């Protein structure tokens, strides 16, 4: 069965330190992977995606993610965290079994808290 896992409910990091939010996936075929961010009382915002090509993907707000096929991971990273990065982060993967219906399988979210 296809799935996405975000093993950490919460990540705490000090401002200025590097941050990592973890995501692992299980799909058949080539994965299309996504990261979204949800600020309090807001809708989700697209951060970045991996479809093909370079394993290191750069996105909005200085975030990047590394696709690792052997470890079936797509961890979100940022070299220096800001307090304003505090939010809920969702990893998602294309549901291949849904065909062309462009359905995503969503992780449960990881709450990132950046402490000043």
Binding site for other proteins (CB under 8 A): 32, 34, 36, 38, 41-46, 49, 51, 88, 90, 94, 98, 101-104, 106, 108-109
Residue with tokens 């992977």: 33
The candidate with the shortest Cα–Cα distance to 77, out of 48, 105, 106, is: 48
In the complex with other proteins, the residue whose CB is nearer, 15 or 64, is: 64
In the complex with other proteins, the residue whose CB is nearer, 99 or 116, is: 99
Minimum distance, C-beta of residue 55 to other proteins, in the bound complex (Å): 18
DSSP string, 9-73: SEEEEETTS-EEE--EEE-SSS--EEEEEE-TTS-EEEEEEESSS-SEEE-GGG-EEEEETTTTE
Minimum distance, C-beta of residue 46 to other proteins, in the bound complex (Å): 5
In the complex with other proteins, the residue whose CB is nearer, 45 or 80, is: 45
């Amino acid at each position: 069965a296809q799935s996405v896992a975000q093993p950490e409910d919460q990540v705490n990091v000090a401002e200025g330190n590097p941050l990592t939010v973890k995501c692992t996936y299980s799909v058949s075929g080539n994965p299309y992977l996504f990261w979204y961010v949800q600020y309090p009382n807001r809708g989700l915002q697209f951060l970045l995606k991996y479809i093909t090509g370079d394993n290191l993907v750069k996105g909005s707000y200085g975030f990047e993610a590394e696709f690792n096929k052997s470890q079936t991971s797509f961890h979100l990273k940022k070299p220096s965290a800001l307090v304003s990065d505090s939010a809920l982060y969702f990893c998602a993967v294309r549901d291949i079994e849904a065909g062309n219906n462009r359905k995503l399988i969503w992780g449960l979210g990881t709450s990132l808290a950046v402490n000043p």
